[in-house]
Amino acid sequence: MAALQRLQPVSHVAVSGGTHGNEMSGIYLVKHWLREPSALQRDSFSATPFLANPLAIERCVRYVGRDLNRTFTKQFLNSKATQDEPYEVQRARKINQLYGPKGSAQAFDFLFELHNTTANVGACLIASVQDNLLPMHMCHFIQTHCTLGHYPILLYNLPDQEAYSISSVAKHGLAFELGPQPQGVLRADLLTQMGALVACALDFIDLFNKGTTFPAFETEAYRFIGSVDYPRHPDGELCASVHSKLQDKDFLPLRPGDPIFQTFSGEEILYQGHATIYPVFINEAAYYEKKIAFNKTEKCSLSIPALQRE
Protein backbone atom coordinates (compact mmCIF):
# COMPACT_ATOMS: atom_id res chain seq x y z
CA MET A 1 0.00 0.00 0.00
CA ALA A 2 1.33 3.45 -0.92
CA ALA A 3 2.32 5.94 1.75
CA LEU A 4 0.13 8.78 3.04
CA GLN A 5 -0.87 11.11 0.21
CA ARG A 6 -1.24 14.84 0.65
CA LEU A 7 -3.47 17.20 -1.29
CA GLN A 8 -4.10 20.92 -1.20
CA PRO A 9 -7.02 22.07 0.96
CA VAL A 10 -10.36 22.43 -0.83
CA SER A 11 -11.71 25.97 -0.84
CA HIS A 12 -13.70 26.53 -4.06
CA VAL A 13 -16.60 24.10 -4.25
CA ALA A 14 -19.63 24.24 -6.56
CA VAL A 15 -22.83 22.18 -6.63
CA SER A 16 -24.68 22.00 -9.95
CA GLY A 17 -28.30 20.98 -10.46
CA GLY A 18 -30.21 20.76 -13.71
CA THR A 19 -27.37 19.67 -15.99
CA HIS A 20 -30.33 17.84 -17.46
CA GLY A 21 -33.40 20.05 -17.25
CA ASN A 22 -35.89 17.34 -16.30
CA GLU A 23 -33.94 15.69 -13.47
CA MET A 24 -35.84 17.36 -10.69
CA SER A 25 -34.08 16.58 -7.37
CA GLY A 26 -30.97 18.63 -8.13
CA ILE A 27 -32.97 21.46 -9.70
CA TYR A 28 -35.25 21.83 -6.68
CA LEU A 29 -32.35 21.60 -4.20
CA VAL A 30 -30.24 24.19 -6.03
CA LYS A 31 -33.21 26.58 -6.32
CA HIS A 32 -33.71 26.19 -2.57
CA TRP A 33 -29.98 26.78 -1.83
CA LEU A 34 -29.94 29.87 -4.06
CA ARG A 35 -32.66 31.30 -1.77
CA GLU A 36 -31.19 29.86 1.45
CA PRO A 37 -27.45 29.11 1.18
CA SER A 38 -26.91 28.24 4.88
CA ALA A 39 -27.03 24.46 4.32
CA LEU A 40 -24.00 24.72 2.02
CA GLN A 41 -21.85 26.63 4.50
CA ARG A 42 -19.10 24.96 6.56
CA ASP A 43 -16.40 26.35 8.86
CA SER A 44 -13.63 26.10 6.28
CA PHE A 45 -15.51 26.97 3.05
CA SER A 46 -18.90 27.60 1.41
CA ALA A 47 -20.18 25.73 -1.62
CA THR A 48 -21.70 27.68 -4.54
CA PRO A 49 -24.95 26.28 -5.99
CA PHE A 50 -25.83 26.90 -9.63
CA LEU A 51 -28.31 25.75 -12.28
CA ALA A 52 -26.35 24.35 -15.20
CA ASN A 53 -28.93 24.41 -18.01
CA PRO A 54 -31.52 27.14 -17.33
CA LEU A 55 -33.29 26.92 -20.71
CA ALA A 56 -33.72 23.15 -20.49
CA ILE A 57 -34.95 23.56 -16.90
CA GLU A 58 -37.50 26.15 -18.00
CA ARG A 59 -38.82 23.75 -20.64
CA CYS A 60 -38.44 20.69 -18.40
CA VAL A 61 -36.48 18.81 -21.06
CA ARG A 62 -33.15 16.99 -20.85
CA TYR A 63 -31.51 19.43 -23.27
CA VAL A 64 -32.37 22.00 -25.91
CA GLY A 65 -29.70 21.47 -28.61
CA ARG A 66 -27.35 18.76 -27.36
CA ASP A 67 -26.70 16.88 -24.11
CA LEU A 68 -24.88 19.39 -21.89
CA ASN A 69 -23.23 16.58 -19.96
CA ARG A 70 -21.41 15.36 -23.07
CA THR A 71 -20.16 18.80 -24.02
CA PHE A 72 -17.28 19.44 -21.62
CA THR A 73 -14.56 18.19 -23.94
CA LYS A 74 -11.75 20.33 -25.41
CA GLN A 75 -13.43 20.15 -28.80
CA PHE A 76 -16.42 22.16 -27.53
CA LEU A 77 -14.82 24.20 -24.75
CA ASN A 78 -12.14 25.62 -27.04
CA SER A 79 -14.33 26.08 -30.10
CA LYS A 80 -15.10 29.54 -31.47
CA ALA A 81 -18.60 30.88 -30.86
CA THR A 82 -20.85 30.70 -33.91
CA GLN A 83 -24.41 31.93 -34.64
CA ASP A 84 -26.06 28.57 -34.95
CA GLU A 85 -24.18 26.54 -32.38
CA PRO A 86 -26.29 24.54 -29.90
CA TYR A 87 -27.32 26.39 -26.72
CA GLU A 88 -25.46 23.84 -24.59
CA VAL A 89 -22.12 24.63 -26.26
CA GLN A 90 -22.48 28.25 -25.13
CA ARG A 91 -23.45 27.09 -21.65
CA ALA A 92 -20.49 24.72 -21.44
CA ARG A 93 -18.10 27.54 -22.31
CA LYS A 94 -19.73 29.81 -19.73
CA ILE A 95 -19.55 27.15 -17.01
CA ASN A 96 -15.92 26.48 -17.94
CA GLN A 97 -15.24 30.18 -17.56
CA LEU A 98 -16.94 30.39 -14.14
CA TYR A 99 -15.73 27.16 -12.55
CA GLY A 100 -12.72 26.21 -14.70
CA PRO A 101 -10.94 26.56 -16.94
CA LYS A 102 -10.77 22.78 -17.14
CA GLY A 103 -7.26 21.52 -16.48
CA SER A 104 -5.93 24.83 -15.14
CA ALA A 105 -4.67 25.85 -11.70
CA GLN A 106 -7.52 28.37 -11.40
CA ALA A 107 -10.25 25.76 -11.73
CA PHE A 108 -12.58 25.13 -8.80
CA ASP A 109 -11.34 22.45 -6.43
CA PHE A 110 -14.51 20.39 -6.40
CA LEU A 111 -17.70 20.25 -8.44
CA PHE A 112 -20.73 18.09 -7.58
CA GLU A 113 -23.29 17.18 -10.21
CA LEU A 114 -26.79 16.09 -9.14
CA HIS A 115 -28.70 13.68 -11.37
CA ASN A 116 -31.75 11.47 -11.45
CA THR A 117 -32.40 8.40 -13.56
CA THR A 118 -35.48 6.36 -14.44
CA ALA A 119 -33.33 3.27 -13.69
CA ASN A 120 -33.44 1.53 -10.31
CA VAL A 121 -29.89 2.47 -9.26
CA GLY A 122 -30.90 3.57 -5.76
CA ALA A 123 -28.30 6.17 -4.88
CA CYS A 124 -24.94 5.73 -6.52
CA LEU A 125 -21.76 7.75 -6.49
CA ILE A 126 -20.17 8.30 -9.89
CA ALA A 127 -16.48 9.15 -10.05
CA SER A 128 -13.98 9.40 -12.84
CA VAL A 129 -11.64 6.49 -13.28
CA GLN A 130 -8.67 8.82 -13.60
CA ASP A 131 -9.18 10.75 -10.35
CA ASN A 132 -8.93 8.25 -7.58
CA LEU A 133 -7.82 9.80 -4.36
CA LEU A 134 -9.99 12.62 -3.02
CA PRO A 135 -13.33 11.47 -4.53
CA MET A 136 -12.69 7.87 -3.35
CA HIS A 137 -12.09 9.00 0.20
CA MET A 138 -15.23 11.10 -0.02
CA CYS A 139 -17.22 8.07 -1.25
CA HIS A 140 -15.84 5.92 1.56
CA PHE A 141 -16.78 8.60 4.09
CA ILE A 142 -20.30 8.77 2.67
CA GLN A 143 -20.68 4.99 2.75
CA THR A 144 -19.64 4.83 6.40
CA HIS A 145 -21.39 7.96 7.69
CA CYS A 146 -24.53 8.47 5.62
CA THR A 147 -26.76 5.76 6.96
CA LEU A 148 -29.89 6.42 4.88
CA GLY A 149 -28.94 3.72 2.42
CA HIS A 150 -26.38 1.81 0.43
CA TYR A 151 -24.16 3.75 -1.99
CA PRO A 152 -22.35 1.77 -4.69
CA ILE A 153 -19.43 3.47 -6.45
CA LEU A 154 -19.54 3.62 -10.23
CA LEU A 155 -16.35 4.44 -12.13
CA TYR A 156 -17.05 6.10 -15.44
CA ASN A 157 -14.97 6.92 -18.48
CA LEU A 158 -13.01 4.33 -20.28
CA PRO A 159 -9.34 4.87 -19.26
CA ASP A 160 -8.18 6.55 -22.49
CA GLN A 161 -11.38 8.51 -23.08
CA GLU A 162 -11.47 12.25 -22.41
CA ALA A 163 -13.81 13.22 -19.55
CA TYR A 164 -16.94 14.91 -20.94
CA SER A 165 -19.15 15.65 -17.95
CA ILE A 166 -19.65 18.91 -16.06
CA SER A 167 -17.65 17.88 -12.99
CA SER A 168 -14.54 17.47 -15.18
CA VAL A 169 -14.32 21.27 -15.33
CA ALA A 170 -13.07 21.32 -11.73
CA LYS A 171 -9.95 19.67 -10.33
CA HIS A 172 -12.06 16.99 -8.63
CA GLY A 173 -15.65 15.99 -9.02
CA LEU A 174 -18.37 13.57 -8.04
CA ALA A 175 -21.86 12.85 -9.38
CA PHE A 176 -24.80 11.73 -7.27
CA GLU A 177 -27.21 9.68 -9.35
CA LEU A 178 -30.54 8.84 -7.68
CA GLY A 179 -33.38 6.75 -9.07
CA PRO A 180 -35.81 5.53 -10.05
CA GLN A 181 -37.55 8.83 -10.63
CA PRO A 182 -39.48 9.71 -13.78
CA GLN A 183 -38.29 12.76 -15.73
CA GLY A 184 -40.23 15.82 -14.62
CA VAL A 185 -41.25 14.28 -11.30
CA LEU A 186 -40.04 15.30 -7.84
CA ARG A 187 -40.14 12.53 -5.23
CA ALA A 188 -39.74 13.57 -1.60
CA ASP A 189 -37.81 10.43 -0.62
CA LEU A 190 -35.08 10.94 -3.23
CA LEU A 191 -34.95 14.67 -2.54
CA THR A 192 -34.25 14.02 1.14
CA GLN A 193 -31.63 11.44 0.29
CA MET A 194 -29.86 13.72 -2.18
CA GLY A 195 -29.80 16.59 0.32
CA ALA A 196 -28.28 14.26 2.92
CA LEU A 197 -25.61 13.07 0.48
CA VAL A 198 -24.53 16.60 -0.37
CA ALA A 199 -24.44 17.53 3.35
CA CYS A 200 -22.31 14.47 4.13
CA ALA A 201 -19.91 15.21 1.28
CA LEU A 202 -19.46 18.81 2.44
CA ASP A 203 -18.82 17.55 6.00
CA PHE A 204 -16.04 15.37 4.58
CA ILE A 205 -14.44 18.33 2.82
CA ASP A 206 -14.60 20.37 6.04
CA LEU A 207 -12.93 17.59 8.03
CA PHE A 208 -10.29 17.23 5.32
CA ASN A 209 -9.58 20.96 5.35
CA LYS A 210 -9.17 20.85 9.12
CA GLY A 211 -6.34 18.34 8.83
CA THR A 212 -8.08 15.03 9.54
CA THR A 213 -6.12 11.96 8.49
CA PHE A 214 -8.25 9.57 6.50
CA PRO A 215 -6.72 6.07 6.77
CA ALA A 216 -6.04 3.80 3.82
CA PHE A 217 -8.82 1.41 2.84
CA GLU A 218 -9.92 -1.14 0.27
CA THR A 219 -13.20 -0.75 -1.50
CA GLU A 220 -15.31 -2.38 -4.16
CA ALA A 221 -16.41 -0.38 -7.19
CA TYR A 222 -18.22 -1.01 -10.48
CA ARG A 223 -16.17 -0.08 -13.52
CA PHE A 224 -17.94 0.80 -16.78
CA ILE A 225 -16.89 -1.48 -19.67
CA GLY A 226 -19.47 -0.89 -22.38
CA SER A 227 -23.17 -0.88 -23.23
CA VAL A 228 -25.86 -3.02 -24.84
CA ASP A 229 -28.50 -1.62 -27.20
CA TYR A 230 -32.09 -2.79 -27.66
CA PRO A 231 -32.82 -5.21 -30.49
CA ARG A 232 -34.16 -3.02 -33.28
CA HIS A 233 -35.95 -3.36 -36.61
CA PRO A 234 -33.99 -2.23 -39.69
CA ASP A 235 -35.74 1.14 -39.42
CA GLY A 236 -34.36 1.65 -35.90
CA GLU A 237 -37.60 0.94 -34.02
CA LEU A 238 -37.37 -1.17 -30.90
CA CYS A 239 -38.55 -4.73 -31.40
CA ALA A 240 -38.24 -5.76 -27.77
CA SER A 241 -38.36 -4.31 -24.27
CA VAL A 242 -36.04 -4.95 -21.35
CA HIS A 243 -37.00 -8.38 -19.97
CA SER A 244 -39.08 -8.32 -16.80
CA LYS A 245 -36.34 -10.40 -15.09
CA LEU A 246 -33.71 -7.74 -15.83
CA GLN A 247 -35.92 -4.69 -15.19
CA ASP A 248 -34.98 -2.95 -11.89
CA LYS A 249 -32.00 -5.29 -11.27
CA ASP A 250 -29.26 -2.63 -11.44
CA PHE A 251 -25.99 -3.70 -9.74
CA LEU A 252 -27.12 -7.35 -9.56
CA PRO A 253 -25.10 -10.00 -11.45
CA LEU A 254 -26.10 -10.80 -15.03
CA ARG A 255 -24.75 -14.15 -16.23
CA PRO A 256 -24.36 -15.49 -19.79
CA GLY A 257 -27.69 -17.09 -20.72
CA ASP A 258 -29.81 -14.86 -18.45
CA PRO A 259 -32.80 -13.23 -20.19
CA ILE A 260 -32.29 -9.56 -21.09
CA PHE A 261 -35.02 -8.68 -23.62
CA GLN A 262 -38.50 -9.85 -24.54
CA THR A 263 -40.00 -9.21 -27.99
CA PHE A 264 -43.57 -8.06 -28.48
CA SER A 265 -44.35 -11.52 -29.82
CA GLY A 266 -43.19 -13.07 -26.56
CA GLU A 267 -39.73 -14.42 -27.42
CA GLU A 268 -36.88 -14.13 -24.93
CA ILE A 269 -33.45 -12.82 -25.87
CA LEU A 270 -30.59 -14.00 -23.66
CA TYR A 271 -27.31 -12.35 -22.67
CA GLN A 272 -24.57 -13.59 -24.98
CA GLY A 273 -21.51 -12.28 -23.13
CA HIS A 274 -18.73 -14.56 -21.83
CA ALA A 275 -18.59 -13.44 -18.22
CA THR A 276 -20.80 -12.20 -15.43
CA ILE A 277 -21.31 -8.46 -15.55
CA TYR A 278 -23.18 -5.98 -13.37
CA PRO A 279 -25.71 -4.00 -15.43
CA VAL A 280 -26.51 -0.40 -14.47
CA PHE A 281 -28.80 2.25 -15.94
CA ILE A 282 -31.23 -0.48 -17.00
CA ASN A 283 -34.02 1.17 -19.00
CA GLU A 284 -33.01 4.81 -18.61
CA ALA A 285 -35.41 6.94 -20.67
CA ALA A 286 -32.71 9.28 -21.99
CA TYR A 287 -30.58 6.41 -23.25
CA TYR A 288 -33.01 5.08 -25.87
CA GLU A 289 -31.68 7.71 -28.31
CA LYS A 290 -28.10 6.93 -27.25
CA LYS A 291 -28.77 3.29 -28.21
CA ILE A 292 -28.23 2.00 -24.68
CA ALA A 293 -30.63 -0.46 -23.01
CA PHE A 294 -28.20 -0.93 -20.14
CA ASN A 295 -24.55 -0.29 -19.30
CA LYS A 296 -22.18 -3.11 -18.42
CA THR A 297 -19.83 -2.87 -15.46
CA GLU A 298 -17.40 -5.25 -13.81
CA LYS A 299 -16.66 -5.35 -10.11
CA CYS A 300 -13.19 -4.24 -9.15
CA SER A 301 -11.29 -3.77 -5.94
CA LEU A 302 -9.46 -0.52 -5.22
CA SER A 303 -6.72 0.06 -2.67
CA ILE A 304 -6.73 3.70 -1.67
CA PRO A 305 -3.80 5.14 0.34
CA ALA A 306 -4.27 7.34 3.39
CA LEU A 307 -5.01 11.02 2.80
CA GLN A 308 -4.33 14.26 4.63
CA ARG A 309 -4.27 17.89 3.59
CA GLU A 310 -0.98 19.62 2.91
Partner 1 sequence: MLNEFQQPLKLLNRMTSCSVVLEAPVQRVAIFGGTHGNELSGVFLVKHWQKNGAEIQRSGLQVTPFITNPRAVKKCTRYIDCDLNRVFDPDNLGKVMEDIPYEVRKAQEINNLFGPKGSDVAYDLIFDLHNTTSNMGGTLILENSGNDFIMQMFHYIKNALAPESCPVFLIEHPNLKYATTRSIAKHPVGVEVGPQPQGVLRADILDKMRKIIKHGLDFVRIFNEGEEFPPCTIEVYRIIEKVDYPRNKNDDIIAIIHPCLQDQDWQPLNKGDPVFLTCDGETIAYEGDSTVYPTFVNEAAYYEKKQAFVKTVKVKLTAKGLRSSSS
Residues forming the active site: 177
Question: By C-beta, is 4 or 60 nearer to partner 1?
Answer: 60
User: Is 137 marked as binding a ligand?
Assistant: no
Tell which phi-psi region holds residue 16, choosing left (phi > 0), alpha (psi between -120 and 50) or beta.
beta
Least Cβ distance, residue 271 to partner 1 (angstroms)? 16
Least Cβ distance, residue 93 to partner 1 (angstroms)? 27
Least Cβ distance, residue 118 to partner 1 (angstroms)? 4
Least Cβ distance, residue 142 to partner 1 (angstroms)? 21
Q: What is the 3-state secondary structure (H, E, C) of the chain?
A: CCCCEEECCCCCEEEEECCCCCCHHHHHHHHHHHHCHHHHECCCCEEEEEECCHHHHHHCCCCCCCCHHHCCCHHHHCCCCCCCCCHHHHHHHHHHHHHCCCCCCCCCCEEEEEEECCCCCEEEEEEECCCCHHHHHHHHHHHHHCCCCCCCEEEECCCCCCCCCHHHHCCEEEEEEEECCCCCCCCHHHHHHHHHHHHHHHHHHHHHHCCCCECCEEEEEEEEEEEECCCECCCCCECEEECCCCCCCCCCCECCCCEEEEECCCCEEECCCCCCEEEECCCCHHHCCCCCCEEEEEEEEEEECCEEEC
Q: 269, 239 in Cβ contact below 8 A?
A: no
Contact set with partner 1 (CB under 8 A): 28, 31-32, 36, 60, 118, 180-189, 191-192, 237-238, 241-244, 247, 262, 264-265, 283-286, 288-289
Question: By C-beta, is 81 or 264 nearer to partner 1?
Answer: 264
Question: By C-beta, is 104 or 192 nearer to partner 1?
Answer: 192
User: Is 243 marked as binding a ligand?
Assistant: no
Least Cβ distance, residue 291 to partner 1 (angstroms)? 14
User: Is 115 marked as binding a ligand?
Assistant: yes
Question: By C-beta, is 218 or 229 nearer to partner 1?
Answer: 229
Question: By C-beta, is 174 or 242 nearer to partner 1?
Answer: 242
Q: Summarize the annotated binding site as residue ranges.
A: 20, 23, 115
Give binding residues for Zn(2+) as ranges.
20, 23, 115
